Chains A and B, each alone.
With several copies, the nearest count.
Chain A
Amino acid sequence: MDDVQGIVVENSRVVTGYYLITIRLVKSFGKVLPGQFVMLRIPRNTVFLRRPFSIYNYKTRLLSIMYKVVGIGTEALSTLHRDEKVYVLGPLGRGFKKSARRKAILIAGGIGIAGLHLLAKELRQRAVIYFGCESKKEVALLYDLREEMNIYVSTMDGTYGYKGTVVDLLKNRLETIPYNKMEIYACGPEPMLKALKNIIGDIRISCQILVEERMACGLGLCFGCVKKTMDEKEPYKRLCTEGPVFDIWEISL
């Protein structure tokens, strides 16, 4: 793991407010696990701290990140041109633990899909995606996954697929799912994860979630990125080192 210089190859809009950036690293990352992230130093001194982003894709020194513009850092990121230099610290954190045989349900809320993309690419036909978003336009975030996998979509405004939250959609279909042979991987806003925890409360299904928190170092140095756990002995765990992937029962949502 290293702080690697990279050159922007492409930085294009997926749909209003969402971008996909591809960076060519001057040095290989080595092995990358789905769910791992990088700390990106955004050039031009617009923001002080680095920003964490899931590894959307990684292949032979080509790293990509899918991101949503939510504040000054992601705003600045969206204006980077081809050939600009960035620094990428990674791969960081613990990724998803995959079992070799079981089938998987991937649940993504909005830009949460960025955290599951690499996993989806690896699991392929073994997985099905439940994707929830605000409106039809964000369905574009599914990108190359649309051709490759089984996907169920929900939108809050009903403009595409099921009308409602993705967890409601899953709940409606829960009977049809042989969950003893399945595991769940989820990434999305906290209310989504909370709702998910509620509906799977009764059934014994393994569920890993990728969570977010503000970070400073990404390396376990500052203890700035903790999540509240269910463990009274260790009520706060560092997301960047003990996470960002946790068992859903480990975290207090």
Chain B
Amino acid sequence: MYRRTGFRHMGNLSIKLLGKDIKNPVMNASGTLGYGKEITRLWNIETLGVYVTKGLSIKPHHGNPPPRVWEEKQGMINSIGLQNVGIECFFSEYFPFFKKKKTPVIVNFFGFTEEEYVACARMIEPHPLIIALEMNLSCPNIKKGGISFGKEAGGVYDIVRKVKAVTEIPVIAKLTPEVKDIVEIARAAYEGGADGFTLINTMPVLALDREKRLPVFRGGFSGPALKPIALKAVYSVYKEVPVPIIGAGGIIDYKDAIDFFTAGATAIQVGTATFIDPYSIPKIIQGIKDHMKEYRISTIEDITGCAHE
């Protein structure tokens, strides 16, 4: 399945993403690594290729009442409700830490109206460490009866174009899997100006409590159960849009990561796996490196999309 590579140095993890050199292709998924500092009790934040922020909004957001997490077989459901400190606070209180650690950041953000997305993008100043803005398009559009922004090609095109118009920072569209055809949505985002994609966000689902604590629990499904859906999204979008894809959804070990690269991902994000094993990210980075050496792969680029050949 792999292309032959020459005699170059094997196992070079660095990638080029949106014009920047990134030391490895592994990021956390938004909302699964707090504000960054929390994990440093276990490993250095510099371990990450890129830190992806918790979803940020114009103003602080309190989120949903508990319970907020639910267990499923090989997956979990969350209804955190986008609790966050807001963009301003993030940049005054948490961003300095990443500056100190010289760790690149992707800023994940959201809104409940187009205007809010645009306002968020305006609030974020370019900085050499900010690789991109990641638009969480799974949010409900309160002006359209609460239907998520990411579901209609037309709406996606509009909102991406408006955000692109107000920022110099590259814009990544993060798409929801609850669509008829993710390629159609990706194309619309690309035409709107998206510089890249993160595929995919959680799947909207529901669980029932036979013990009544909360009869119906709604939320986003993540973890290994989501992987085949995520992998299909990456594979399908890869050939149709000429911009980088960051793969996310159910990646639990380096083998999953390799699957996403070969399907077409330039980089990957690890979310739920960190809750099961907080060392998942460093282990995946090491696993990719070892795999590349074993199979004599010199760079991630050499295998990106090779399943299409």
Contact = CB atoms under 8 A, between A and B. Distances in A.
A and B touch in the complex (CB under 8 A): yes
B33 interface: yes
Contact of A214 (B54, B67, B73, B74): B67
B83 interface: yes
Interface string B261-282: 0000000000010111111000
Interface in B58-81: 62-63, 65-76, 78, 80
B66 A228 contact: yes
B31 interface: yes
B66 A219 contact: no
A223 B34 contact: yes
A2 B63 CA distance: 29
A224 B42 contact: no
Most buried by B among A2, A49, A87, A216: A216
A45 B275 CA distance: 15
A222 B78 CA distance: 9
B34 A221 contact: yes
B38 interface: yes
B39 interface: yes
Interface residue tally on B, bucketed by range: 20 to 34
B66 to A, nearest CB: 5
A89 interface: yes
Contacts of A100: none
A114 B75 CA distance: 29
Interface string A35-58: 000000100000111100000000
B72 to A, nearest CB: 7
A241 B41 CA distance: 12
B11 interface: no
A247 interface: no
B236 interface: no
B14 interface: no
A48 B63 contact: no
Contact of B80 (A41, A50, A223): A223
Contacts of B68: 214, 223-226
B38 A224 contact: no
A227 to B, nearest CB: 7
Interface residues of A, number: 28
B75 A223 contact: no
- Most B CB within 10 A of own CB, among A3, A223, A236: A223
A87 B283 CA distance: 16
Interface in A211-236: 213-217, 219-228, 235-236
Nearest to B62: A235
A81 to B, nearest CB: 22
B70 A214 contact: yes
A203 interface: no
Contact of A48 (B31, B39, B73): B73
B223 interface: yes
A16 to B, nearest CB: 20
A1 B63 contact: no
B66 A225 contact: yes
B66 A1 contact: no
Contacts of A213: 66-67
A41 B279 CA distance: 13
A1 B279 CA distance: 12
B249 to A, nearest CB: 15
A220 B34 contact: yes
14 contacts: A3-B279, A41-B277, A48-B76, A50-B276, A214-B69, A217-B278, A219-B278, A221-B32, A221-B38, A221-B39, A222-B32, A223-B34, A226-B68, A235-B62
Closest A-B pairs by Cβ, 5 of them:
A224-B69, A220-B38, A217-B275, A221-B34, A216-B275
Given A3-B277, A236-B65, 19 more contacts: A3-B42, A48-B75, A48-B276, A49-B69, A49-B71, A214-B66, A216-B272, A219-B42, A219-B278, A220-B34, A221-B33, A222-B34, A222-B78, A223-B68, A224-B68, A225-B66, A226-B63, A228-B66, A236-B66
Interface of B: 31-34, 38-39, 41-42, 54, 62-63, 65-76, 78, 80, 83, 223, 272, 274-279
